[in-house]
Amino acid sequence: MELTAWLTAVAEKLEISDQALDEETVQILLDLARDAAHEVERVAAPLTTFLAGVAVGRGAALAPTATAVTDLLAEPS
């Protein structure tokens, strides 16, 4: 299945079709997943994007949320 069709089908199934994933949103999420996978470990990618999604669902804006997480990855551990 093609990505856009998949995302549309998922949104409809979850009854959140009012939350369209435009190109900018998709790119932010993919960048966040990539950074988490490379800086932590692969399994961090979906889990990190899930946590960002929870924050957005609770009212945070996506771009600043992704930036905050990316900044966290740059901090020394």
Residue 14, in any domain of the structure: no
Give the pLDDT score at 66: 97
Question: What residues make up the domain containing 30?
Answer: 19-74
Give the pLDDT score at 77: 74
Cα distances (angstroms) measured from residue 61 to each of 13, 31, 32, 68: 24, 16, 14, 11
Residue 30, in any domain of the structure: yes
Give the pLDDT score at 53: 95
Residue 1, in any domain of the structure: no
Say how far apart CA 30 and CA 35 lie, in whole Å.
9
Residue 8, in any domain of the structure: no
Residue 37, in any domain of the structure: yes
Residue 67, in any domain of the structure: yes
Residue 52, in any domain of the structure: yes
Residues of the chain with pLDDT under 50: none
Give the pLDDT score at 39: 95
Does the pTM exceed 0.95? no
Counting the structural domains of the chain, the total is: 1
